[in-house]
Structure 1
Amino acid sequence: MIRVLIADDHNVFVEGIESLISGSLDIEVTERCYTVQSAKARLSQTTIDVVLLDISFPYIEDGLGLCDYIVRTYSETKVIALTMHNDASLIKRIVKKGAKCKR
């Protein structure tokens, strides 16, 4: 079973992503986090395989920083960045920090 944490500051988005995943037999959303701080706390308490990360928390740097933190601290955890931004430099920055990116 793949354990997923969804990190996004928009409740509706988190619920939407979770509903898309809920039909899978191999994937379970175990954590929902709406702030960078709550994501860090949950990661320290639970084994997570994949983080679906919105890089647009109230400050974009927070999403980038969270990605960097996850990759450095939880090397086995994969990060998939979800973004509505079409800014190539931003996407390059998040990929350099270790995320896989889906626009």
Structure 2
Amino acid sequence: MYHVLIADDHAVVRSGLAYLINQQPNFEVIDEAADGTSTYLRVEQGDVDILVMDLSMPPGESGLITTQRIHEHFPDVRILILSMHEEQEYINKALHNGAMSYIMKSSSDDELLKALKTVANGEEYVDTNIVITKSDVQQINSNGVDTNLTGYNGLSKREREVFPLVALGYSNKEIAAKLFISTKTVEAHKANIMRKLALNNRADLIRYAIHHHLIDF
């Protein structure tokens, strides 16, 4: 039995996906999440085999970043992106960051189920409506590091969780409650983030987050 986690900011979408997936033999939806931070924390708890996730779940961390973080720390979790974004840049980046599959929300249920079963078998699957060129393949397989994100990539796992919450204006107390840590720990993480990214204040952090597409509003 494959345990599936559904992540989407719309409850009706999560319910529809859960109903569809639970009808399939050997698949069971064990939980749902509505934003990137909650998705990561749920994966961190364990027992998730497949993650079906939207890329845009505002307000919060960009799904591209969530994909990257989960793939880095939980490579056994198979990530299937289900998104309205048809831009090739999003598709290439999602696959580069570790997603095994990319499906359009405009596609049929059959397309999603085919992707789900293919991913369960450990194979990659891209929506048949998406055309991948040689140039796209090079971008997806590129090992190059975005030099503009060198500072961000140097943040610790917990600092990357704190980062979008600070940018979105959550208080230290709210961040502590969301991540199950103390307010003093939040303050320490914030100080480290500002130092590593060479930022002076929250306004600078917000500009950095928006410029690098690290959060969705």
Bin the TM-score by the shorter chain.
Answer: over 0.9
The answer as to 2:5 corresponding to 1:5 is yes
Q: Distance in 1 between matches of 2:96 and 2:73?
A: 16
Residue 47 of structure 1: how far off its partner (Å): 1.5
Q: Distance in 2 between matches of 1:75 and 1:98?
A: 8
**1:35-93: CA deviations, max 9, x gaps?**
11211221121311100010011168610111001100111100000111111111111
Alignment partner of 2:80: what SS?
strand
Partner Cα separation in structure 2 for residue 10 and residue 51 of structure 1: 16
Q: Could you state the TM-score of these two structures normalised by the residue count of structure 2? A: 0.45
Cα-Cα RMSD: 1.5
TM-score by length of 1: 0.92
Classify 1:37/1:64 alpha carbon distance in 2 versus 1 (closer, same or farther; 3 Å).
same
- Point out the structure with max Rg over C-alpha: 2
For residues 39-50 of structure 1, the aligned pairs below 5 Å read: 39-50=39-50
Matched, 1:102 2:116: no
Point out which structure has higher relative CO (alpha carbons under 8 A, 6+ apart): 1
Structure 1's consecutive aligned runs of 4 or more residues displaced over 4 angstroms after TM superposition are: none
Amino acid at match of 1:49: D
2:22 is matched with 22
Stretches of structure 2 that go unaligned for 5 or more consecutive residues are 105-217
Equivalent residue number for residue 82 of structure 1: 82
Greater share of strand residues, 1 or 2?
A: 1
Gap runs ≥5 in structure 1: none
| Aligned 1:50-65 pairs, distance under 5 A | 50-58=50-58, 62-65=62-65
Distance 1:88 1:59 in 2: 23
- The structure with the largest helix share of the pair is 2
Q: How many residues align?
A: 103
Q: Quote the Cα distance in structure 2 between the aligned partners of 1:56 and 1:83.
A: 8
- The 3 A distance-change label for structure 1 pair 16 and 10 is same
